[in-house]
Amino acid sequence: MKIELRNICKSFNKKTNTIDNMNLTINDGEFVALLGPSGCGKSTTMLMIAGIYKPDRGEIYFDGQIVNDLEPKDRNIGMVFQSYALYPHMTVLDNIAFPLKQQKVPKEERIKRAKRAAEMVQLEHLLGRKPSELSGGQQQRVALARAIVKRPKVLLLDEPMSNLDARLKIEMREEISRIQRELGITTILVTHDQEEAMTMADRIAVMKEGQIIQYDTPMELYYNPKNYFIAQFIGTPPMNFLKGKLLNNQLHLPNSTVELD
């Protein structure tokens, strides 16, 4: 599914916009990351795409159709949260199958689809366990399987790996990337972790104070940052910066002069 945000504004008070005149296009089957520091508006953007928030101004399009007034349940999306949000009294199988039960899918069909989703995230041997009997990584896989079992056209990932340790983060990155490629599903990842964004996304929208500063491929962001903010935000360790003055095609630095071509 192709997603377009046109001139989107969203404010939670009268003084400032959380999202300020945003324009963003995500192509069908593309994996896009919304990357930026805390408070930049990336989660608000995702929640508007999901239909949980409604923009104050502007339009959101799914495959050319405006969805501003469409309820979240009618947008054909799957969502994975930072908190796993699993039902503690249900087994892994029942947790995965629950969205299908809500859709009144026949029991035999929903069990079949839930088992298939569990196989995709390599949990087929844990279907009878409760969430309390699983590791953090396994619980996140259950949440991912529950999101994809509905066969959504859009997958939304809201910092899904924030609660995992370093090794599990690497495993989940690989798992999510593999599943996204296998399903060919349009996917949006919200993260403040540039390593996640750089290793998983086809394109990255780097945000600051409610605006997209640069929207590009990981390598383009790394080698050709648009401005100082992108240059100091992308890269570990960050890019070096030197203060100087440009005079007559010469860069004058403290105690030195560099001739420019």
Is position 47 within any domain? yes
User: Is residue 124 included in any domain, yes or no?
Assistant: no
Residue 257 has pLDDT above 60, yes or no: no
The answer as to whether 120 is a domain residue is: no
CA 167, CA 154: separation in Å to the nearest integer? 27
The label of the residue with tokens 């903010």 reads 229
Percent of the chain with pLDDT over 90: 70
pLDDT digits (tens, 9 = 90+) for 242-252: 777 777 777 67
Residue 69 domain-assigned? yes
Does 258 score more than 70 pLDDT? no
Query: How far is the CA of 125 from the CAs of 129, 178, 226, in angstroms?
Result: 9, 20, 48
Domain tally for the chain? 1
Q: 3-state SS of 166-206?
A: HHHHHHHHHHHHHHHHHHCCEEEEEECCHHHHHHHCCEEEE
* Cis bond before residue 237 (omega within 30° of 0): yes
Structural domain that includes position 24 = 3-76+152-259
Q: Is residue 136 part of a domain?
A: no
Q: What does the pLDDT look like over 45-103, one tens digit per residue?
A: 999 999 999 999 999 999 999 999 999 989 999 999 877 789 999 999 999 999 999 89
pLDDT, the chain, mean = 90
pLDDT (average), residues 109-132: 93
Residue 224 lies in a domain: yes
Closest listed residue to residue 221, CA positions, set 242, 241, 201, 191: 201
Q: CA-to-CA distance for 67 and 59, rounded, in angstroms?
A: 8
Look at residue 251 in the predicted model and tell me its pLDDT. 67
Task: Supply the CATH number for residue 241's domain.
Answer: 3.40.50.300
Q: Is the pLDDT of residue 43 over 60?
A: yes
pLDDT at 260 over 70: no
Among candidates 124, 113, 123, which has minimal Cα distance to 148?
A: 113
Q: With bands split at pLDDT 50, 70 and 90, how would you rate the model's confidence at 229?
A: very high
- Partner residues linked to 253 by β-bridges: 256
Candidates 220, 191, 222; CA nearest to 207 is 191
